[in-house]
Amino acid sequence: MDGWLHDVRLRKNFKSREEAAVEKTALEIKAEQVASGLRSTATRLRDEQVREAEAAFHRLDGRTRSLTFYLDYALANYRDPIRDMPLAEAAKD
């Protein structure tokens, strides 16, 4: 196999065409990820947690503080209500 990836020439010999095809596919995926701005990362997060983290970072776009700052603030200041009730019922008390 030989070719170019991001202005770097790649040359590698394989024992079989199948091994070469697997390597070629992996390099094509890597090239697409770089072009699209996506990258794979090993993580212990579940899929839904990854999506939630991405959404949180999207909501923070343009802000000057980090996600950790806002999380620390919420953990220090938020308290779950003792009991949930509709506003109309709370106004009667």
**pLDDT 10s digits, 25-65:** 888 888 888 888 887 788 999 999 999 999 999 999 999 99
Return the pLDDT at 55. Answer: 97
- What are the residue ranges of helices labelled H in the chain? 17-36, 47-59, 67-77, 87-92
Tell me: pLDDT of 5 over 80. Answer: no
Average pLDDT on 3-15 reads: 78
Tell me: pLDDT of 17 over 80. Answer: yes
Average pLDDT score, the chain: 87
Q: What is the DSSP letter of 64?
A: S
